[in-house]
Amino acid sequence: MSKEVFDKGLEIRKSVLGAEYVERSLNNADDFMADFQELLTTYCWGAVWGREGLSKRERSLLNLGMLASLGRMEELQLHVRGAINNGLTVDEIKEALLQVGIYAGIPASLSAFKAASKVLKEDGLI
């Protein structure tokens, strides 16, 4: 893909996850990880998050449900902050994680609640 898509992805990634986090991820990428960081920024953030079909807020809500359902708690914590940055409320995050309990199971929802609670407490939101 083009540098234009990478640049668009970089802008979106920084707006959702925070510039400091993204810069640290890119700067700490060694030779082994550098290509993955470029792929992630270009395809995930530029080619998909950069589409106009869903808002960043809607994409964040979807990510919370998918990451919780998959048991990807480290990424879920990162995307809880992204969801707040994209305008989701604490109550909306809670509702999404309750929904996970029904469709992906109570253990997945419980782990997600613990992970999200940690982030929301750290950030003084609960």
Res 38: pLDDT? 97
Topology of domain 54-126, CATH = AhpD-like (1.20.1290)
For 57, other C-beta atoms within 10 Å of its C-beta total 14
User: Quick one: average pLDDT of 10-34?
Assistant: 97
In degrees, rounded to 5, the angle at the alpha carbon of residue 13 between the alpha carbons of residues 108 and 117 is 35
Q: What is the band of 1 on the pLDDT scale with cuts at 50, 70, 90?
A: low
Indicate if the pLDDT at residue 56 is higher than 70: yes
Q: Which residues contact 122 (CB under 8 A, 6 or more apart)?
A: none
Q: How many CB atoms lie within 10 A of CB 126?
A: 12
Indicate yes or no: pTM above 0.75: yes
The domain ranges of the chain are 1-53, 54-126
Confidence category of residue 35, pLDDT binned at 50, 70, 90: very high
Percentage of the chain lying above the pLDDT 90 cut: 99
pLDDT band at 44 (very low <50, low <70, confident <90, very high): very high
Confidence of residue 116 (pLDDT cuts 50, 70, 90): very high
The tokens for 80 are: 């809880």
pLDDT tens, 71-114?
999 999 999 999 999 999 999 999 999 999 999 999 999 999 99
Nearest 5°: the CA angle 78, 79, 80 is 95
Question: Mean of the pLDDT values across residues 45-73?
Answer: 98
